Amino acid sequence: MVLGALLTLSLAAVEVQVQPGVPRPGDVVLVIVTGTASSPSGRLGPAELTFLPLGDRWLAMTGLSVDEKPGTLPLEVVTADAAGKDRVEGAVEVRPPDFRKRQLTVSKKFTSISKKDKQRSVEDQKAFADALDRDYEPWTFQAVFEWPRLADVTAPFGDLRMFNGKKKSQHFGMDLDGSTGDPIYAANDGEVVMARDCFASGNTVLVHHGGRLFTSYFHLSAFDVKQGDRVKRGQKLGNVGKTGRVTGPHLHFGVKLDGKWVDPASLLRLRW
């Protein structure tokens, strides 16, 4: 049964729910399994699903690449108990992306960097790799994710960035409007795995939420947390700023899931 934002499949006592029912490239896809006491296994297309318990349910999240081709992805979930194995099969339809193209003309200082800054970027990349090197640890949250600040979206996820007439990059986050000093809050419970001044992203906070799911907060003017802190949903992380390679104050809010940058808006829409 397809309900637009929801796909539900069932076999005997086992029910499998998929959100969204029709994702687009770059989306987080949530698979919820109920009706079994043991950990399920499964796949969505080529991606293996890792289920972690949340209350009486099992949740797996996977991210679709921004380069995922529209079409059908096979879904398989297997549960096992003393009576044997149950296999639930279905399909998830991936719709075409609707990423916009933005023509930006910027100063040369944003399209070329010095040798010193290149070295700093290399060090930042290693720091990111270390912070993101986490296993499928238990979910740190119970409630759904919420916006880190209520503000206009000035640049959505997936924007194709054309600098001085040439395609340079794609926007792997969501920019939220703000003035320097405006508060920024944790989208959910988790552990701060980075609080660092980086060359490109400026003052940066990364929060791990278990399951190799991270939220990121870039360009802060000030920190209210440090690496190793445990934070709660809605706890202040810092303030909006314009640190790093940006032209004005805003919050770049990102989500990384199992090694892929995915659309934060798709995570914020999920319900369990």
Q: Where are the domains of the chain?
A: 7-94, 101-268
3-class SS at 17?
Answer: strand
For residue 235, the model assigns a pLDDT of 98
Amino acid at 247: T
3-class SS at 129?
Answer: helix
For residue 160, the model assigns a pLDDT of 84
Q: What is the pTM of this model?
A: 0.92
CA–CA distance, 5 with 210 (Å, rounded to integer): 24
The CATH H-level (homologous superfamily) assignment of domain 101-268 is Glucose Permease (Domain IIA) (2.70.70.10)
For residue 24, the model assigns a pLDDT of 96
User: CATH code for 7-94?
Assistant: 2.60.40.1930
Count of alpha carbons within 13 angstroms of residue 214, beta-carbon side: 25
Sort residue 4 into left (φ over 0), alpha (ψ -120 to 50) or beta. Answer: left
**Cβ pair 202, 121 in contact under 8 A:** no
For residue 3, the model assigns a pLDDT of 38
Whether the link from the prior residue into 20 is cis, omega within 30° of 0, is yes
Q: What is the mean pLDDT of each run of 10 residues along the chain (272 residues)?
A: 61 89 97 95 97 97 96 95 84 92 64 86 97 97 98 93 70 96 98 98 98 98 98 98 96 97 98 96
